[in-house]
A and B are shown apart, each in its own frame.
Chain A
């Protein structure tokens, strides 16, 4: 017994270390709720335990679901089996304790999108009262490859195995103890896994918020059960707008250029969203970089307003909030200021040089709108299908403004991995020649970068013309592919998440885009740090028109940095669904998505022994007890001399 302590540390529980191997990198699937449903995954409060079984072939599936003698099973699912039919069979079976999906490119199907076939169908512009023949994707199915797994409700935990070393540990444990020998069942002790991902919220947002309110009102130590998804939109404009003057801005006619800032996948905080989101962000940033100098030298009559909307995957959180603020006169501009809108959708996978422009056929029935749109399109032929899912739809719900959505697809998405973990650099065909260092990769011009730069140039020139600028300046507007350094974005996760975060009030991607914009559009000032943080004290600076950032500066040769103050008209605006401000948790008009809270999410593996061994031990005890009583009755005789 004591010898076991020898190689282990003196202070920790060494018996526990003999039993459990804790898995460090856990990527869970969590529960999300909206006005009417709950989606995602849930474990029981003390974790779900099951005997490991690797799902590699069809016979493994039969073993797990019907013939295996040691249910419940914890399924280690190879990539090829992570599809709707298998997951639905697991969901309906009582012999599955949980699933751990191996995320890798080997065995990956040709397409995989866990999102629905018709994204955001209930909160877009098409409904019974507006374009009813186009509603619910009757006109065009945008994501036909979608299997809807992200929107199913699983009663067992589903984790992702991204770390190859960890997967190897699991496989080894399985091969050592659980492998079937010649078709016969494996013998105890068997390798098992326990997954913890107990979610506090149930049923739907209405229930969860009601219970949270009850807690806040009556409990000494209130426990919040769920949080609304929220973050910030990033916006900027070519002419600064007065941030303290809310409502209609006098003499301002604004062209909005927008894109989305978020993505999602089946698992929590995993959203590479390369084609879905990064392509749009990068294009819009390049557009701004191309357009900004010209708009300062030869300003067009209209203002150009650039906006990055957060939370669009979850029923248009960011754009619905901005529209709501505009209608309530709580934003720097209102709907009357908006002249037209151009949105950049998924533009990364253009085949050849084609780019599609989508417009809304219903609003184009209005002649003035139609004229504007035709001018925007430059007299290209139009198509009478509906708009793809886009933030522009939320603007249309409020006011019929002319607008276009740019995309690399005509009828349905070219993105075969829409809103999944596989929508990464490889999906965007971003490849670097071998042997480049990360710094070299940052400045290397990939083909994808060149393609996006072309789109950015087109967008920038169109925006300039749309804003009433002169044609002679168009040649100066060109996007530089080097600016489009995508690799930086391709390692980030674009999931919106919740309010206050560890490194500041906004999501890291939001902050990053904000700072890049400040870099592209801002001017360096010679303010000191305290002046930078309180610019209203100076008469030359205007806190209403600009925001001021204290930047640490580039690292010089000997490692020191010289910080400075940057002034830019870049701002963040809160992106939380109006349903939470109006306290209409069951709203049909606005997003009601919330994320459940949880205590601990972890996983561990260990061996389990057979039931017989467990039961045998108490039986031994019974024998000793009965003997005892007999003996004590005879003490008198035993110790008499």
Chain B
């Protein structure tokens, strides 16, 4: 549907994530490396789940609609579980790597904290997941037509873009919560991440009733955002100070070396 829609949807989907990257990650090469490694881990999980999907589709009965629906649901659930499994695998790898990094570095403190790793790896997962969700759709949005000639909803492109935005940010929050839960051995936190991921993926089955899928996703996004903020060390007081612009006075009063 022309170049305007293409750029619009691209910026909606990737804008915040790219802005986060540019302002918080791009300056530090170590963070960039861990981001890309995180993206790679997500990619491997997708590869495995797509292999399983491909094989099951080939051996299934292509004409039976119920079987295909069942297969789709199975594929989604399997993919979510594999992604979370790889997130856990990445966590273990990072723990091991951190010990090695500490030994190599000349400072006493770790060059990158586990919380920063959580954020960066979550964002890496998010980038790759977003790319695979939306790039195909974006390339079709370049042509002159829009979705709808067979009766589908016209808001396909923009809904996909908003969904992708939500997924990218969710992956980032899930990363933070997940790593924090693993550090504190709070297994119910892990379970909550997995379940919310499953819910967000499965709620897309109500499409094309986009309000039915986008609204729950954004509710979960806000909840996870708040939870991740708390996990990262934020509090309501800090937030109030920040938003009312009294932060400079506070810092001067409580200056501590970082």
Known: A5-B72, A608-B144, A638-B239. A19 touches B20 (CB 8 A): no
SS class, residues of chain B in contact with chain A: helix
A614 touches B1 (CB 8 A): yes
Q: How far, in Å, is A41 (CB) from chain B's closest CB?
A: 20
A19 near B24: Cβ-Cβ < 8 Å? no
- CA A1 – CA B149 in complex, angstroms? 17
Say yes or no for A555: interface residue by CB 8 A criterion.
no
CB of A483, distance to nearest CB on chain B (Å): 52
CB <8 Å contact, A638 and B234: yes
B143 lies within 8 A of chain A by Cβ? yes
Contacts of B136 in A (CB 8 A): 13, 15
Instruction: For A607, list chain B residues within 8 Å (CB).
Output: 145-149, 154
Asked whether A218 is an interface residue with its Cβ less than 8 Å from the other chain, the reply is no
From A606, A614, A629, give the contact of B145 (CB < 8 A): A606
CB distance from B123 to the nearest CB of A (A): 13
A18 and B19 form a contact (CB under 8 A): no
Binds B, one of A102-110, A282-290, A618-626: A618-626
| B137 touches A (CB below 8 Å) | yes
> Contacts A6-B68, A629-B23 given: A19-B238 contact, CB under 8 Å?
no
Q: 1/0 contact trace for B157-181 toward A, CB 8 Å?
A: 0101101000000000000000000
B247 in contact (CB, < 8 A): yes
User: Shortest Cβ distance from B59 into chain A, in angstroms?
Assistant: 13
Let me know if A634 and B242 touch, CB within 8 A: yes
Contact of A606 among B15, B76, B146, B239 (CB under 8 A): B146
B-binding segment of A189-197, A450-458, A484-492, A592-600: A189-197
Nearest B residue to A18 via CB reads: B147
Q: Which residues of A contact B15 (CB under 8 A)?
A: 621, 624-625
A402 to B239, CA, bound (A): 108
Closest to B247 in A: A637
A608-641 vs B, CB cutoff 8 Å, 1 = contact: the mask equals 1100001111101100110011001011111111
Q: In the assembled complex, which residues on chain B have CB atoms less than 8 Å from the CB atom of A635?
A: 24
Query: How far is A400 from B133 in the complex, measured between Cα atoms in Å?
Result: 79
Q: Are A1 and B232 in contact (CB under 8 A)?
A: no
Q: Which of A460-505 contact B (CB under 8 A)?
A: none
Contact of B8 among A3, A20, A604, A621 (CB under 8 A): A621
Determine whether the beta carbon of A608 is less than 8 Å from that of B145: yes
Q: How many residues of chain A are within 8 Å of chain B by beta carbon?
A: 47
Contacts of B1 in A (CB 8 A): 608-609, 614
Q: Is the CB of B238 within 8 A of A3?
A: no
B218 → A minimal CB distance (Å) = 14
Beyond A15-B137, A637-B251, is A620–B146 a contact (Cβ under 8 Å)? no
* Contact between B152 and A638, CB atoms less than 8 A apart: no
A1 and B145 contact, CB distance less than 8 A: no
Q: How far is the CB of B81 from chain A (nearest CB, A)?
A: 16
**Given A624-B16, A628-B23, A192 contacting B144 (CB threshold 8 A):** yes
> CB < 8 Å: which of B72, B140, B158, B161 contacts A19?
B140
Complexed CA–CA distance, A632 and B19 (Å): 9
A615 to B247 Cα, complex, angstroms: 38
* Residues from chain A with Cβ under 8 Å of B234 in the complex: 638-639
CB distance from B63 to the nearest CB of A (A): 11
**Cα distance, A457 to B238, chains bound together (Å):** 109
- Chain B nearest CB, measured from A36 CB (Å): 36
Question: For residues 1 through 60 of chain B, which have their beta carbon under 8 Å from a beta carbon of chain A?
Answer: 1-2, 4-5, 7-9, 11-12, 15-16, 19-20, 23-24, 57
Question: A624 — which chain B residues lie within 8 A by C-beta?
Answer: 11-12, 15-16, 19
In the assembled complex, A404 has its CB within 8 A of some CB on chain B: no
**Is the CB of B98 closer than 8 A to any CB of chain A?**
no
Say whether, besides A614-B5, A617-B8, A6 and B238 are in contact (CB < 8 Å): no
Are A617 and B5 in touch, CB under 8 angstroms? Answer: yes
Are the C-beta atoms of B11 and A621 separated by less than 8 Å?
Answer: yes
Q: A2-B76, A628-B23 are in contact. Are A614 and B4 (CB under 8 A)?
A: yes
A629 vs B2: C-alpha distance when bound (angstroms): 29
Query: Given contacts A18-B156, A620-B12, A628-B16, are A606 and B149 in contact (CB under 8 A)?
Result: yes
Contact with B along A175-193 (1 / 0, CB 8 A): 0000000000000010110
- State the Cβ distance, A620 to closest chain B Cβ, in Å: 6
A618 lies within 8 A of B8 (CB): yes
Give A96 to B234 CA distance when docked, in angstroms.
62
Query: How far, in whole Å, are A444 and B235 apart by their CA atoms in the complex?
Result: 96
Taking the nearest CB of chain B, how far is it from the CB of A80, in angstroms?
28
Shortest Cβ distance from A626 into B: residue: B19
Residues of A within 8 A of B143 (CB): 16, 19-20, 606
Closest A residue to B239 by beta carbon equals: A638
Q: Is B65 an interface residue (CB 8 A)?
A: yes
Tell yes or no: A150 within 8 A of B by CB. no
Q: Do the beta carbons of A617 and B9 come within 8 Å of each other?
A: yes
Does A90 count as interface, using CB distance less than 8 angstroms?
no
Complex Cα gap A628–B21 (Å): 11
- In the bound complex, how far is the Cα of B146 from the Cα of A606, in angstroms? 7
A605 close to B (CB within 8 Å): yes
* Cβ–Cβ contact A628 & B149, under 8 A: no
Q: Known interface pairs A1-B133, A614-B4, A614-B5. Does A621 touch B12 (Cβ–Cβ under 8 Å)?
A: yes
Across the interface, name the chain A residue whose C-beta is closest to B136.
A15
Interface centre among B69, B148, B247 (most CB of A within 10 A): B148
User: Given A608-B1, A609-B154, A629-B23, are A19 and B147 neighbors across the interface (CB < 8 Å)?
Assistant: yes
Known: A3-B204, A15-B136, A639-B233. A615 touches B146 (CB 8 A): no
The minimal Cβ–Cβ distance linking B25 to chain A, given in whole angstroms, is 10
Which chain A residue shows the least CB distance to B148? A607
> Which of the residues A15, A49, A191, A641 comes within 8 Å of B144, measured between beta carbons?
A49
A413 to B251, CA, bound (A): 100
Asked if B207 and A4 sit within 8 Å, CB to CB, the answer is yes
The one of B5, B207, B238 in contact with A1, judged by C-beta atoms closer than 8 angstroms, is B207
C-alpha spacing A75/B137, complex, angstroms? 30
Query: In the bound complex, how far is the Cα of B163 from the Cα of A2, in angstroms?
Result: 12
| 22 chain-A/chain-B pairs, Cβ below 8 angstroms | A1-B163, A2-B204, A3-B204, A15-B137, A19-B146, A192-B145, A194-B145, A606-B144, A607-B145, A607-B154, A608-B1, A608-B144, A614-B8, A617-B8, A618-B4, A621-B12, A624-B19, A625-B11, A637-B242, A637-B247, A639-B233, A641-B235
For the complex of A and B, the 9 pairs showing the least CB-CB separation, nearest first, are: A617-B8, A606-B145, A621-B11, A628-B19, A614-B4, A637-B247, A632-B23, A607-B148, A15-B140
User: Contact residues of B with A, CB < 8 Å?
Assistant: 1-2, 4-5, 7-9, 11-12, 15-16, 19-20, 23-24, 57, 65, 68-69, 72, 76, 133, 136-137, 140, 143-150, 152, 154, 156, 158, 160-161, 163, 204-208, 229, 232-235, 238-239, 241-242, 247, 250-251, 254
